[in-house]
Amino acid sequence: MSGVELEIQLLAVTVGVACALPGVFLVLRRMALMSDAISHTVLLGIVVAFFIVEDLTSPVLILGAAATGVLTVALVESIRGTGLVREDAAIGLVFPALFSIAVILITRFAGDVHLDTDAVLLGELALAPFRRLEIGGLDVGPRALWVMLGILALNVAFLAAFYKELKLSTFDASLAAALGFSPVLVHYAFMGVVSVTAVGAFDSVGSILVVAFMIVPPAAAYLLSDRLGRVIWLSALLGALSAVSGYWLARWLDASIAGSMAGAAGALFGLVLLFAPERGLIALARRRARQRVEFTRQMLAIHLLHHEGTPAAAEESRLDHLSEHLRWTPIQAERIVDAARRAGLVTLDDERLHLTEAGRSEARKAMLR
């Protein structure tokens, strides 16, 4: 692995972790698509800032971008605040409009400048190592890496300082307000952090990967644990993992790094979605199947108990009668009887079913419930 490759991966891991931290709260607060909106509207901030300073490398561009991020949040909030449209629609109204203005400004007034909408949206991680940071003439590494490390430090500090407030206002906003924490203040401070992260990240990886890194690993982690602390750790881990595996996928296919990382994040999410121990689709299907078997077994026991000792008992407990009475197909009935026999609830004797003592108590228990 060359130094450049290492630097790219290091940068991507930093971006992945830095995005995953606020991403957890975006997912939990149901504001995931705010990341999509912000990562698009920052283009407008960059364009406007560029018109002011006329320099594509100036840090003012980043400031402009962060400012439009907060402006986007404020606009969405105020449109939602009128009560005329709902929050999701408000997001869908604001960001295409701001993005359109940015595109028009670029094509009308900056056509000759290298301010590429493609580059903004799609990102070019491979180029990041070529922009170096030099301190006193000494090359200390890619500039983007230091920027992202700074943002990562900011996010960690923010989480550490306001963990309690964030947690409370996320899970119970009214309780937070009643206890004297201002949910509005927490909200805007948090969105400020999201903006800065999105801006710093999209500069090196493009806006689509920002969305992928902010939403996909936290959503996967949310399926793996119920504890907030653990969800945060897992998100960071999954973010880093998507970054590294995505990089090698891109190398292997010779394709877009950002795209491959988003794809890798998606693949990890898919694995978690299928195999998560409690909430994965497979665990879910198995639990449902188990419950179905349990339920039918209980039905059978209750049916037998109901007729036990009555004159109809001989008729009702015949194996071939079950399909008629309980509306089970013969194959179904056979399978259920098998399951019930294995569980020791019934015995089969000359085509007739008898409840065991365990079967009787199971039926009584099920009826009491």
Partner 1 sequence: MDLLHDLLFDYTLRTVALGSAALGAVSGTLGVFAVLRREALLGDAISHAALPGIVLAFMLTGSKSTIVLVGGAFAAGWLGTALLRVITHQTRIPSDSALGIVLSVFFGLGLMLLTFVQKRPDAAQAGLETFLFGQAATLLQGDVIVIACLGLASVAVVTLLWKEFKILSFDPEFGGSLGFPMDRIELLLGTVLVLAIVIGLQTVGVVLMAAMVVAPAAAARQWTDSLGTMVWLAALFGGLSGAGGAVLSSTGGLPTGPAIVLTVSGFVALSMTLAPRRGLVWSWLAARRRRAAIRRDTVLADLYALYLQHGRLEHGHPLAVLEAMSEAGEGTRRSLEALEEEGLARRLVDGSWGLTTEGREAATELLAELQPENGDGGGG
Interface positions with partner 1 (CB under 8 A): 26-27, 30-33, 35-36, 40, 79, 82, 84-86, 88-89, 91-93, 95-97, 99-101, 103-104, 107-108, 117-118, 121-122, 208-209, 211-212, 214-216, 218-219, 222-223, 249-250, 253-256, 258-263, 265-266, 269, 273, 279, 281, 284
Phi, psi at 361, each rounded to 5°: -70, -35
Q: Are 348 and 341 in contact (CB under 8 A)?
A: yes
Q: Are 213 and 201 in contact (CB under 8 A)?
A: yes
Q: Comparing C-alpha atoms, which of 242, 235, 200 is closest to residue 215?
A: 235
* Pick 104 or 157: Cβ nearer partner 1: 104
Q: Rounded to whole angstroms, how far apart are CA atoms 226 and 218?
A: 12
Closest approach of Cβ 254 to partner 1, in Å? 5
Q: Rounded to whole angstroms, how far apart are CA atoms 285 and 272?
A: 15
Closest approach of Cβ 95 to partner 1, in Å? 7
Closest approach of Cβ 229 to partner 1, in Å? 18
Q: What tokens appear for 303 in the block? A: 């049916």
Q: Please give the DSSP secondary-structure letter assigned to residue 320.
A: G
Closest approach of Cβ 271 to partner 1, in Å? 13
CA 143 to chain CA centroid, nearest Å:
29
Closest approach of Cβ 27 to partner 1, in Å? 5
Closest approach of Cβ 350 to partner 1, in Å? 44
* Pick 34 or 199: Cβ nearer partner 1: 34
* Pick 28 or 326: Cβ nearer partner 1: 28
Question: For residue 333, what are the CA distances in angstroms to 186, 250, 281?
Answer: 59, 53, 27
* Pick 191 or 211: Cβ nearer partner 1: 211
In one-letter notation, the amino acid at residue 15 is V
* Pick 46 or 216: Cβ nearer partner 1: 216
The CA-based diameter of the chain, rounded to the nearest angstrom, is 101
* Pick 104 or 161: Cβ nearer partner 1: 104
